[in-house]
Amino acid sequence: MLKILNIVGARPNFMKIAPIVREMRRRENEFQPLIVHTGQHYDAAMSDSFFTDLDIPKPDFYLEVGSASHAVQTARIMTAFEPVVLEQKPDWVLVVGDVNSTIACALVCAKLGIKVAHVEAGLRSRDRSMPEEINRILTDAISDLLLTTSQDADENLKTEGVAAEKIRFVGNVMIDSLFYNLKKAEESKIREDSELNEKDYAVLTLHRPSNVDEREVLAGLLDALSAIGEKLPVIFPVHPRTKARIEEFGFSELIENSNIKLIEPLGYLDFLRLYSGAKLVLTDSGAIQEETTALGIPCLTLRENTQRPITIEMGTNILVGTNPGKIKEAAFEILESDSRKDTKIPPLWDGRAAERICDCLSEA
């Protein structure tokens, strides 16, 4: 039986870990899964609710590192995680995504000689100003098993000199969570509570420092969003960081006089129910680009690059950057058209990635 430490730290990790741990628990003769929550995201409203919504077991270890600079937070995770590894002596440590918890735990294991499996390996934005890109590159460089969501990720790794025998194309485990929870999310009353009719609204997420920490950039985005709001309501579950910047820069009145509707951050099921009924999604997040592609919902990504190019090549995602004119042009084209472009769900985005991940761990 393989003892696996499964690492979660930030909200996107929870949706990736949930189906993997569920599959490991189903295969109880093969796996002993343990969950380590680093506490990188520690607010109960934005963290604990995901455990409840996704039926993730209570963490076996909670490191409580909290918020800090990248250097301090990474160091705290490493310091708190090392004793857990030394005590538990796992066969594998499984890390997901590209947050500080991912690289911190992988680095501890690499130095202790503990095998690391990286779920969502090989994604590249080619933008090293993004902390996540550094985390991706470094985690892939020190992992023993690289589990990829798409074949372009395989090619990225091979180009970087990673041995082919370390790479396994398993599909997208985020889509496992999406398909598994779609029916359950129908119990949410978020649309009714917000008085929304399906396909009669847009959904916005906005939190990246490059978008919200510079006054001129945020002003341009809000200008474009206000114009889109003249066509239909823009529902905005506002991130605490973004809310603080809106108030700091004096944009609260602008939003109050627009059709941008700020609401509190949502749990996984409420948010799934909200965006799955939207006419259009605008985001600077990563995972939503994938989920909207799987559901066939038009998505405008408010960034200059994406580590998920397959969502553009095959899916519904359009990269629009932060130029207000480009955002409005793309949004109006979608809103004025009754037809959607010909899109496909990428290979192995079928809800069974967790099974393949567990197979790879058993066979490695």
List residues with catalytic annotation: 207
Angle between helices 173-185 and 268-275 (to 10 degrees): 80
Q: Say if residues 361 and 117 touch (Cβ distance below 8 Å).
A: yes
Q: For residues 10 and 99, give the distance between their C-alpha atoms in angstroms, rounded to a whole number.
A: 7
User: 208: Cβ–Cβ under 8 A, 6 or more apart, which residues?
Assistant: 284, 303
Token pair recorded at residue 100: 């500080």
Q: Say if residues 92 and 115 touch (Cβ distance below 8 Å).
A: yes
Extended beta strands in 98-155, E state: 115-121, 145-148
Q: For residues 353 and 157, give the distance between their C-alpha atoms in angstroms, rounded to a whole number.
A: 19
Q: For residues 23 and 180, give the distance between their C-alpha atoms in angstroms, rounded to a whole number.
A: 12
CA atoms lying within 13 Å on the CB side of residue 116: 25
Residues forming a β-bridge with 175: none
